[in-house]
Amino acid sequence: MPLRTAVRYLSAPIRDILRPSTTTSNRGCAAIAEARSVLEHELETIRTGGTWKGERVITSKQGPHINVDGSRGDILNFCANNYLGLSSHPQVVEAGIEALKKYGAGLSSVRFICGTQDIHKDLEQKLAQFHEREDCILYASCFDANAGLFEVLLGPDDAVLSDELNHASIIDGIRLCRAKRFRYKHMDLNDLETQLKESQSSRLRLVVTDGVFSMDGDMAPLKGICDLAEQYGAMVFIDECHATGFMGPRGRGTDELLGVMDRVHIVNSTLGKALGGAAGGYTVGPKPLIDLLRQRSRPYLFSNSLPPPVVGCATRAVELLLTSNEIAQSVGDKTMRFRNKMTDAGFTISGSDHPICPVMLGDARLASLMADDMLKLGVYVIGFSYPVVPKGKARIRVQISAAHTDQDIDRAVDAFIQTGRKHGVVS
């Protein structure tokens, strides 16, 4: 047999083995088609339910006045977490530029390999000082900080007692730990005490709550929580993402506002809202806890270090707050101006004394339509509906910033009145 013929003869079975069979290929196509059908059905359910979340495109820097793709002229922004107006503050921006020039765009590493620069340690020290805690550890986000804490701190012999309306990141973080889980009714101290009694056999117990609940702008009853925790030998954790920088006389948060800074043991918060608005989160608390998190917290160990420009911006923001409380104090007066004018106009505003001002509407479609009409009037707000908030609790969440002027606030209220009358919300 000629050599060429023999090679063809021997290689034919190999080609048949390597070539995907028609049956296998058809099964793969069928699986993809089935998945596509399931996904499209789910998407259509969201659209018809009026809970579709579109993404408007901003073509300017973040601030009280922005440019929005598809809209003409100056748009007032009333839905950013930019509580202190520091996202585009000249000193904050310049600090980020200087860090970029000196330290580069990123570390290409996790912290424990070659991803820790002196600026990371400096920011951690300043955050610990700001919160008056022993130590601090940085994360890529506060979602990561919440994901990385409970699994390390609590084991199967421990218990965690969580407010039923805690943020999704807290809920997900608790799911990762092996502790016994107890959920108490929202801000209900009587129910919390019941759960504390039921969990008394546990080694460690941790009461977990948001300091400020982001959808309603209501504050946890921290004094009562701390009283109960001390009575039953539990620790207290708070998530301060919507309080750090502007709540309390010096902007330290709800624990300062309510006089329990020395009674709250662990605080998680973010750099992505009031403290410059870029990215990043952190945990502050006892040094042994922070040391253990550096050794075992998975989001910390397996995520790249915060980029130097982000660290530079956040550091400057914290330095501004350590120097003066003037910016933090200005938010309160503007918040009350908006709340009072909206209440006088006939709107129902949830929460109290917090720059999160939810305009309660109930119906998801109504919230979405009113937000669209507000944009046509030059005011950027967003409707929130299920699953972000409970069904029947749709609202437009307004957020006040220190960068807003009284004229900005009055213009937003006028737009709400005009839109509310159009949709029969107010008369």
What amino acid positions are annotated as catalytic residues? 214, 242, 273
> Of 269, 308, 328, 285, which Cα lies nearest the Cα of 141?
269
CA-CA distance, 7 to 15, in Å (whole number)? Answer: 12
CA-CA distance, 23 to 28, in Å (whole number)? Answer: 9
- Structure tokens belonging to residue 86: 């520091």
CA-CA distance, 77 to 91, in Å (whole number)? Answer: 21
Sort 63 into a burial class: Cβ within 10 Å, 0-12 / 13-18 / 19+. Answer: middle
| Positive/negative CA dihedral, 44, 45, 48, 54 | negative
Answer left, alpha or beta for residue 108, where phi above 0 means left and psi between -120 and 50 means alpha. left
Alpha helices in 19-109 (DSSP H): 22-48, 90-103
CA-CA distance, 112 to 376, in Å (whole number)? Answer: 50
Give bridge partners of residue 182 from the DSSP assignment.
161
User: Are 210 and 220 in contact, with CB atoms under 8 Å apart?
Assistant: yes
In single-letter form, the type of residue at position 353 comes to D
Give the N- to C-terminal CA distance of the chain in Å, as an integer.
97
